[in-house]
Amino acid sequence: MLRLKISGGISLSYKVEIKRLPGNEDIVLPQKMSDLASGFDLYAAVAEPLTLNPGERVLVPTGFAIAMPAELEAQIRPRSGLAFKHGITALNSPGTIDADYRGEIKVLLINHGKEAFIIQRNERISQMVFQIVPQIQLEEVEELSDTVRGTGGFGHTGK
Ligand SMILES: O=c1ccn([C@H]2C[C@H](O)[C@@H](COP(=O)(O)OP(=O)(O)OP(=O)(O)O)O2)c(=O)[nH]1
Ligand SMILES: [Mg+2]
């Protein structure tokens, strides 16, 4: 079997502080489920099992807050397994966690499936991916620079 070993590029490393919120001593903190997973799985900190009926949405607590370096953001993304098997996804996907947010991280789930889905305490419900956010200064101008594409979009290159 051919095994490709890919390495190289720039490797960045950041420390992110995480604080467990009161009453959540038993909640599993975000975990990477494999060495190179890009997301940390998030665990539901619901007090009681929570039933999400078809078409319903709910804000699920995670029991923790974070403080990350200013150049980062975190995205809350669905787990594909829950989406595929049960139609459970993050409604605002990807959810945006701002670097200056110190409140509890919450996950906005919606049930697009045909059956009720029960969320248990400490069940993995979504994943959190950290990204670098460039610092941008928006500058208002009268004219934008020309391009071949111009204003074409929304499928103008064909199907
Ligand atoms: O899935 C999410 C999305 C957001 N947040 C928290 C962190 C984020 O920094 C804050 C605000 O999110 P966002 O900017 O998406 O919401 P908004 O409707 O614009 O609220 P705000 O006016 O507070 O920015 O809410 C979560 O915990 N989970
Ligand atoms: Mg906002």
Domain range list for the chain? 39-132
Tell me the ipTM for this assembly.
0.98
Q: Which of 58, 96, 108 to mutate to test the pocket of ligand 1 (most atoms within 8 A of CB)?
A: 96
The pLDDT tens digits for 121-138 are 999 999 999 999 999 999
Q: Are strands 64-67 and 17-20 parallel, antiparallel or unpaired?
A: antiparallel
Q: Is 145 annotated as a binding residue?
A: no
Share of the chain above pLDDT 90, in %: 92
> What does the pLDDT read at residue 3?
62
* Ligand 1: centre distance to CA 91 (Å): 13
Please report, for residues 32, 38, 61, the alpha-carbon distance to residue 130 in angstroms, rounded to integers and kept in the order given: 12, 8, 19
Say if ligand 1 is within 6 A of residue 98 CB. Answer: yes
Residue 2 has pLDDT above 90, yes or no: no
Which superfamily, per CATH, for 39-132?
Answer: Deoxyuridine triphosphatase (dUTPase) (2.70.40.10)
How is the chain split among helix, strand and coil, in percent rounded to 5? Answer: 5, 35, 65
Q: Summarize pLDDT for 59-106 with one digit per residue, the tens.
A: 999 999 999 999 999 999 999 999 999 999 999 999 999 999 999 999
